Amino acid sequence: MSPRILIPAVAAIAVVGLVLALITPFPRSLPAGTGDAALVEDVRTALDGGPGHHALAVVRIDAEGTRGFAGFGADEHTEFEIGSVSKTFTAMLFADAVERGEVTPETTLGEVFGERVGNARDVTLDALASHRSGLPRLAPAGGTEFARTFALTFLRLDPYVETRDDLLDGLTDLEIPADPEPLYSNYGTALLGMALEESTGTGYADLLSERIIEPLGMTDTYAPITPEGLRPDAPRGHTASGLPAGAWTLGPQAPAGGIRSTPHDMAIWLAAVEDGTAPGAAAAEPRHPFEEPEEEIGWAWITAPLDSGEGELTAHSGMTGGYASFVGFTDSGDAVVALANTAADVGGTAALLGGTAVQGGTAADPVTDDSADEGAER
């Protein structure tokens, strides 16, 4: 498409989008809360002044393992997209594969995929898992691909439609810095998941099921990969302005943000990560400095001081076109899961742990390089 055609078309789409945003009522408050009354009030306080949600569920786990649940239009088995919190699962699969001797932290993309990865052949799996690979936030896209992504985003559909070959071919001509700065990369995590598939001979959804979901008894949790993989009753989420949003399954980029789960399952999982019994829980151990002063990153998991300066918070956030999430735990043993079916920040629930949600990552807005989630997900 020539620029003479593309630019007016994009401008027209932007104008229509602005009009729709202006005439669409934004959710202003949370629905009535159920469950632990004290937690319900704590959640309302933590999110006071923030955007409302059609449905929100929060689980708080104390150091003794006691769980409290607060539901706002949701129960413990309501299904949500967890967005970039999926990256922590992928990182745990990596840590588990290292423990099994299937890969090492220094395994390179070249060793896994051969010469087709071009200048990225020396990028290690450790660098992918800790966002220090030098790869961009998103897979490279030309003008036609950008227009397609813009259109899908405007239509509130999954914009991650690249094939496996597209993702690998995108590496061919990339310039990789010799000493890259930390940079959060959806592309890098997608490639990490693809490398694990190649190294284990098992597809991502099956790898996730066999190595994390089944051992922990998380029967509500799955990675659909494609729209056909969604369960028949899979709910739809909502944009930040309240419009229904299509499901995001992400295809080969599912390792970066394509898992669906429930508060019940995520509480099981987070407790097991915190106490070190989950497969691949070593992924949460800090390994490298990250983007901000005093931040450290393990494999996907990011650790930062609590607001009090006493203790640390290890956490991750997520967002898709219709959902938002936050998970975190402290070194004293407290933990929180927050899941919403509206693409509006829930990182304020970090306050339930005495912290601030400065933790990385989202797949939410590929058109604008996903900067819309800065603060909740970087």
- Residue 38 falls inside a structural domain: yes
Find tokens 């399952």 and name the residue: 265
8 A C-beta contact, residue 127 and residue 218: no
Tally of domains in the chain: 1
43: left (phi over 0), alpha (psi -120 to 50) or beta: alpha
Q: What span, in angstroms and rounded, lies between the C-alpha atoms of 322 and 81?
A: 8
- Residue 16 falls inside a structural domain: no
294: left (phi over 0), alpha (psi -120 to 50) or beta: left
pLDDT of residue 293: 84
pLDDT of residue 367: 32
Structural domain including 350 reads 29-372
Closest CA to 300 of 287, 312, 310, 313: 287
8 A C-beta contact, residue 338 and residue 269: no
- Residue 6 falls inside a structural domain: no
**Lookup: tokens for 232:** 């028949």
Under 8 Å CB-to-CB from 321, ≥6 apart: which residues?
153, 156, 157, 158, 159, 237, 239, 245, 246, 248, 343, 364
The helix/strand/coil state of 250 is coil
- Residue 4 falls inside a structural domain: no
What are the backbone dihedrals phi and psi of residue 65, each rounded to the nearest 5 degrees, phi first?
90, 5
DSSP string, 88-146: HHHHHHHHHHHHHTS--TT-BHHHHHGGGGGGGTT-BHHHHHTT-S---SS----HHHH
pLDDT of residue 82: 98
- Number of H helices and E strands in the chain, helices first, is 11, 13
- Residue 23 falls inside a structural domain: no
Q: What span, in angstroms and rounded, lies between the C-alpha atoms of 98 and 94?
A: 6
pTM: 0.88
The neighbouring-strand residues paired with 297 are 288, 302
- Residue 10 falls inside a structural domain: no
CATH number of the CATH domain containing 203: 3.40.710.10
pLDDT of residue 357: 58
Q: What span, in angstroms and rounded, lies between the C-alpha atoms of 345 and 352?
A: 15
pLDDT of residue 362: 41
- Residue 352 falls inside a structural domain: yes
pLDDT of residue 377: 36
Enter the DSSP assignment of 210.
I
Residues 265-318 pLDDT 10s: 999 999 999 999 999 999 999 999 998 888 999 999 999 999 888 899 999 999
Residues 13-48 pLDDT 10s: 444 454 445 445 554 578 889 999 999 999 999 998
pLDDT of residue 1: 38
8 A C-beta contact, residue 31 and residue 75: no
What residues in the chain have per-residue pLDDT under 70? 1-28, 49-51, 142-148, 357-378
Q: What span, in angstroms and rounded, lies between the C-alpha atoms of 213 and 158?
A: 24
pLDDT of residue 152: 74
- Residue 377 falls inside a structural domain: no
